[in-house]
Chains A and B, each alone.
Chain A
């Protein structure tokens, strides 16, 4: 019995050390971002003389506040659109009978097979033709609906009993009101999971925003950070402050809503 407890403690200890190693780079990023440049090289885990100077500098002299705002607008805008349209389409495919239903579903599902990289060149041509380069719409339009979210929502709407919807029909509710007020509230967990998944994905998106934005004022945080870091290559404490600004919103959200986020990721992962 003692041997068993000891081996349990060793497993726990090993997992803990591994976990510490995993968060070490993030910890070092945060601690260095709070250091003066002359202290940045000593790699101490806690700054001797903490300062917000780096943050103040990049927030006032650089465009970081603007990039932060752009990222929020783009990630939120895309998430709202995806939640609305993917659930509407998922609901329609799950709860209505009409000609061409199977084909529509298969076609939407087949878009999951098309990699983004194959679409960026035509998207760029399209954005150039319609004057969407360097605009929020230009960054957002490719992601306004997703085959993945549609599939996820369809799965969940299938569990909503038809009797409930028919009862609402008898009560004289319009079809859209039935969707919005009866069906949608019943799939809240799926909506939350999808929202987390889509928001995080768009917050971190790099390739397409890099292609579609030319003006620094339209950069999202990842593009802005890449540009800023390229310009300030030796000033690591500044780069770490920028990296912290780009990652802190999602890290804080994770610490606050840990269980929901992990459930959301598991759910989205398993359904895909």
Chain B
């Protein structure tokens, strides 16, 4: 009897300690995470210019406006274009580098560092470096090279067609470092004995890649696909810094959804409309995460 009472007090004391340790974090998560998330949903149902003391309830009007707004469809299309270009390029290039880097014995650390360096540099600083590289001749490096090769200068960031790929390039370039490191970790986790067995059976390098390496790397590929997709859907820094006055031009041709939200909320003070756009972004990200869970769940 006594023993169990003592036992109880220890457990109660443990619980009490836990609640004390969690007190400040509980306030933080309620006030800085959950309340704002709910407020976003609420704001998306109102019309508000942030200055006026009252928010006018408008129901789903902001969502109706969004879906009737050609600019919204344009930015949604742009956002998916960043993903469509950036995702396969990042995955394929990173895998190729990691696959061969894994086989290198001499100077592997140095080579890896060279590919990783862009990942660690400030994204805003690198956006300006790339913006400079894209300048018309005689300033920009790319146009200088193209002119010397006789291909002729390209408009890059000032073209409605070339600007999205031109902005995606530094995103891929900076993201490769991270992707390569994760791919390398995945490759190193594959037991050497699998390769040896395959080689004894007379399998070629390509057969080993197709039958052993790629299937075993599937979870890594999936993880990276999701991470990169989410990052590309949320693209902002590069577009803001590589387009004139951060407007996502020319003619909204590079404007992604986050930049549209930023302008609607903090330049036009159309808080309800901007909140509705954040809810749509949230929905898209949720959908992609759910698809990930489903596919991952099936595999394991």
Which residues of the other chain, B, contact A22 by a CB distance below 8 angstroms?
114-115, 117-118, 173, 176
CB neighbours (8 Å) of A91 from chain B are 21
Bound complex: CA A26 to CA B132 (Å):
12
B57 at the interface (CB under 8 A from A): no
Q: In the complex, A262→B176 CA distance in Å?
A: 13
| A125 interfacial by beta-carbon distance below 8 Å | yes
**B208 smallest CB distance to A (angstroms):** 15
**B262 near A: Cβ within 8 Å?**
yes
Which has the most chain B C-beta neighbours within 10 Å: A22, A203, A239, A266? A22
| Stretch of A53-61, A110-118, A151-159 lying at the B interface | A110-118
Cβ-defined contact, A254 with B117, below 8 A: yes
The answer to whether A15 and B111 have CB atoms under 8 Å apart is: yes
Whether B64 is near chain A, meaning CB under 8 Å from some CB there, is no
Report the separation of the CA atoms of residues A255 and B121 in the bound assembly, to the nearest whole angstrom.
Answer: 12
Residues of B near A118 (CB, < 8 A) are 36-37, 40, 278-279, 281-282
Chain B interface secondary structure, helix, strand, loop or mixed?
Answer: helix
- By beta carbon, the residue of chain B nearest A92 is B21
Pick from B28, B120, B125, B132: contact of A144, CB below 8 A: B28
Q: Is A16 an interface residue (CB 8 A)?
A: yes
Q: What total of chain A residues lie within 8 Å of the partner, measured CB to CB?
A: 89
A168 adjacent to chain B (CB < 8 Å): no
Query: What is the CB-to-nearest-CB distance from B138 to chain A, in angstroms, rounded to a whole number?
Result: 6
Tell me if B120 and A250 are in contact (CB < 8 A). yes
Q: Is the pair B123, A85 in contact by a Cβ cutoff of 8 Å?
A: no
Interface hub of A14, A250, A262 (most chain B Cβ within 10 A): A262
B residues 28-72 in Cβ contact with A at 8 Å? 28-29, 32-37, 39-40, 43, 50
Residues of chain B within 8 A of A255, CB atoms compared: 113
Q: How far apart are the CA atoms of A72 and B290 in the complex, in Å? A: 37
Query: Would you call B225 an interface residue if the criterion is a C-beta within 8 Å of the partner chain's C-beta atoms?
Result: no
In chain B, residues 140-163, which have Cβ atoms closer than 8 Å to a Cβ of chain A? 141, 144
* Interface hub of A11, A115, A141, A175 (most chain B Cβ within 10 A): A115
Evaluate contact between A247 and B121: CB separation under 8 angstroms.
yes
A25-B129, A126-B36 known; A19 and B111 CB under 8 Å?
A: yes
* A206-B114 CB under 8 A given contacts A25-B129, A221-B122, A239-B132: no
Q: CA of A139 to CA of B140 in the docked complex: distance in angstroms?
A: 35
A97 and B114 contacting across the interface, CB-CB below 8 Å:
no
Bound Cα distance from A243 to B121, whole angstroms: 9
B132 proximity list for chain A (CB < 8 A): 32, 236, 239-240
Answer yes or no: B1 CB below 8 A from chain A CBs.
Answer: no
A1-23, CB < 8 A from B: 8, 11-12, 14-16, 18-20, 22-23
Task: Verify if B237 is at the interface (C-beta below 8 Å from A).
Answer: yes
- Distance in angstroms between the alpha carbons of A96 and B16 in the assembled complex: 10
Q: Is B101 an interface residue (CB 8 A)?
A: yes
**A43, A175, A243 — which one has the most chain B CB atoms within 10 A of its CB?**
A243
What 1/0 flags go to B100-118 for Cβ under 8 Å of A? Answer: 1101101101011111111
Question: Which residues of B come within 8 Å of A, CB atoms?
Answer: 11, 14-15, 17-19, 21-22, 24-26, 28-29, 32-37, 39-40, 43, 50, 97, 100-101, 103-104, 106-107, 109, 111-126, 128-130, 132-133, 135, 138-139, 141, 144, 170, 173, 176, 178, 181-182, 185, 227, 234, 236-237, 240-241, 245-246, 258, 261-262, 265-266, 271, 274-275, 278-279, 281-282, 285-286, 289
